[in-house]
A and B are shown apart, each in its own frame.
Chain A
């Protein structure tokens, strides 16, 4: 039974239809129904262990890496079933990029990091690669800081720069959706502000779904917000409404800091 107070989205880019998710025998998600708006920032909030990261990782099938996981229900990306046997997971992950909680640059040069997605796709044209590096780094607001040292190790960057490099790496392959799993939780406030500003710019071209613990952050960057609790979607709507006049008691309690 789903009694969530959810808002209907017209022409959603990702549509989740009655999704159940299991880790072995334990059920992590219960009948989730939600649609994510195109070229908007949607935040998913909720206490630890509520299933928001699990839901996020369903969209690019990162949960496949866990042997005992099982998905029931449907996830549609532009109307196509993500979990269908005919879906090419490599192609899917190229369309749905991801930025992780802990920045994870590869032990390669900044340049090689950005074009990693192109390299594995077999693109060798130097002009295309150079152009992509510049576009992606500019898109991630990192270009001016690193243009002099593109061929030095990415591991020499600061934490905030690394995270923006990971964003550049994600947008280098021109995804439709970018999933962000608490992208700022390991950053200092200044770097966080920089990344948040970047998210605001990116939503002009990309759909962004961000998982965050930080409610101020959700309020600052997102247009829509979903609140999950114990594997259930409790409420989904415009961020302003969720924070100003939540329709559910649980949402209000969480937002006002009574638990979580």
Chain B
């Protein structure tokens, strides 16, 4: 028994258990997110329940649990039809169910507003649309929807033209403001020329807006009458229907295809219904761009600082203090960086830029308000210690003989650094960058006060000169999770989106890290063993 303790057997068990617990927690996290996130787009069947009190419920089952204070179980159904019932969900005691069925003609409508509609198609009012009368009602609905979708696509082009025009108008307005600010007389030819082109553009603009209004009004003529499970009827404009399908008629293959289409829409689509439905493209784009710009700043800055600290600074009290300070910087709560970013970058540098370069538009800020540049810089500040520490360690791990070997051949310190030390340290530097990126991708708090928004009107990159708009506000997956999960009016309905967004964020971080790790391993191979 004494031997048992002396050989450290319990220690082995304890270390193993600690690792197992950590892995278990991490695995649970991933599995929960996967289960909840991956299932969101699978089209579940609609069940029609006749209850003993005569009411009828049509919905998809969400969960089943032991009923509170009674025998048996109860089930939660998503019944949708928020505009009719007010709530999307309903609990049903199994004891109350008289009869249940899966009607084949039950239909799910995804709508622009009020969430989904579950019910039955009653009557189509297609007016001028060219739909052959031989079609079944459901097929006619799909055909009409497809035609309306085409109209919407061409409407979208109009939308883009309008926003491009309004961007031009805005820059014209700024030029005029600038001229006025610079004291150019209102009669000057420059101003008159500007005003003239402004008038032309404005004319075009009104023209387009009018045309858009006409097209939209025309599109809204086509409607269909649907009824819910209890026979309550509702006239729905077809243009408001994003997608219609009959889940009870779909086979596995059809459902799989439907699922893939939904995933595609998620990745490339725009959000709707205050972000709780639709796609995530602007948020994905914002997240990746944020991390990219952040790396652009923190990577060179961190590496160069570490090179000075390790290679050039004279070892002593001050360097030790600096090192301790850098290590501690990594531990400062991120919200503190956020506040610093707001005070220093946004109000300090941003306001100065505005005063120097855009004084004509003040008090409306250009750079003096949160934007992707300031958020990236704040994150760069937050992650720079990670890069410094890992670069320093990588440089420190290079054996002294290698440095001396290079110096003894008559190379300068700088040549040794560029030709030998930095390449050898590159795997370690990459590790630092990976850690920095992972940390940046997960930060939300500092972003909330330096430029992230719930819904950005435009991406930071678009077709309008100068294409890259670093002053713009942006969307971010992490903030998206917080916003729809805790700030949206209908939290229960937003839950699936929370999990999907979480899954996506995890996937993005994993993908970016995997790429970086792959690169690092290639470097490692190159600078340790193997062929060139």
Is chain B found bound to chain A in the same assembly?
yes
Which A residues fall within an 8 A CB radius of B?
A: 60, 62, 65, 67, 90-91, 93-94, 97-98, 100-102, 104-107, 109, 116-117, 119-121, 151-153, 155-156, 166, 169-170, 173
Inter-subunit contact A97/B530 (CB<8 Å): no
Given A93-B409, A97-B408, are A155 and B401 neighbors across the interface (CB < 8 Å)? no
- Asked if B410 contacts A107 (CB within 8 A), the reply is no
Chain B contact patch, size range: 20 to 34
Tell yes or no: B531 within 8 A of A by CB.
yes
Q: Is the CB of B410 within 8 A of A93?
A: yes
Do B532 and A173 touch (CB < 8 A)?
Answer: no
Q: Assess whether B314 is in contact with A90, with CB atoms less than 8 Å apart.
A: no
Question: Can you report 23 A-B residue pairs in the complex whose CB atoms are below 8 A from each other?
Answer: A60-B408, A62-B404, A62-B407, A90-B411, A93-B410, A94-B409, A98-B404, A100-B405, A102-B401, A106-B405, A106-B406, A107-B420, A116-B406, A116-B409, A116-B411, A116-B419, A117-B409, A152-B531, A153-B529, A153-B530, A153-B532, A166-B405, A173-B409
CA distance A91 to B412 in the complex (A): 11
Q: Per a CB cutoff under 8 Å, which of B401, B410, B528 touches A117?
A: B410
Please indicate the chain A residues that have their CB under 8 angstroms from the CB of B401 in the complex.
Answer: 100-102, 104
The residue of chain B having its C-beta at the shortest distance from the C-beta of A156 within the complex is B529
Which of B314, B405, B419, B530 touches A120 (beta carbons < 8 Å)? Answer: B419
Chain B positions 513-532 with a Cβ under 8 Å from a chain A Cβ: 526-532
CA distance A148 to B407 in the complex (A): 29
Given contacts A153-B530, A156-B530, contact A65 B410 (CB under 8 A): no
* Closest residue of B by beta carbon distance from A98: B408
- Give the residue name and chain of the A residue nearest to B525 (CB): A153
Decide yes or no: A107 and B526 within 8 Å by CB, A65-B404, A120-B415, A152-B532 being known contacts.
Answer: yes
**B402 partner residues in chain A, CB cutoff 8 A:** 104, 106
Q: Are B532 and A62 in contact (CB under 8 A)?
A: no
**Hey, which chain B residues are within 8 Å of A67, CB to CB?**
314-315
* C-alpha spacing A100/B529, complex, angstroms: 21
Query: Which residue of A has the minimal Cβ distance to B416?
Result: A120
Contact present for A109 and B532 (CB under 8 Å): yes
Q: Which residues of B contact A97 (CB under 8 A)?
A: 408-409
In the bound complex, how far is the Cα of B423 from the Cα of A94, in angstroms? 24
Residues 478-532 (chain B) with a chain A CB within 8 angstroms: 526-532
Within 8 Å CB of B406, what residues of A? 106, 116
Contact with A along B389-428 (1 / 0, CB 8 A): 0000000000101101111111110010001100110000
Interface hub of A97, A105, A107, A117 (most chain B Cβ within 10 A): A107
- Please report the C-alpha to C-alpha distance between residue A44 and residue B425 in the assembled complex, in whole angstroms: 36
Convert B172-194 into 0s and 1s, putting 1 for each residue whose CB lies closer than 8 angstroms to a CB of A.
00000000000000000000000
B529 touches A155 (CB 8 A): yes
Q: Are B410 and A153 in contact (CB under 8 A)?
A: no
CA of A11 to CA of B114, assembled, Å: 101
What's the least CB distance linking B318 to chain A, in Å?
14
A60 CA to B419 CA, complexed, in Å:
21
Q: Which residues of A sit under 8 angstroms from B420, Cβ to Cβ?
A: 106-107
Q: Which of A100, A107, A109 contacts B404 (CB 8 A)?
A: A100
The listed residue (B315, B404, B526) touching A104 by CB distance below 8 A is B404
Known: A97-B408, A153-B530, A156-B531; 19 extra A-B contacts, CB below 8 A, are A62-B404, A65-B407, A93-B409, A93-B410, A94-B410, A98-B408, A106-B419, A116-B409, A116-B411, A120-B409, A120-B410, A120-B411, A120-B415, A121-B410, A155-B528, A156-B529, A169-B409, A170-B408, A173-B410
CA distance A2 to B441 in the complex (A): 69
CA of A151 to CA of B402 in the docked complex: distance in angstroms? Answer: 20
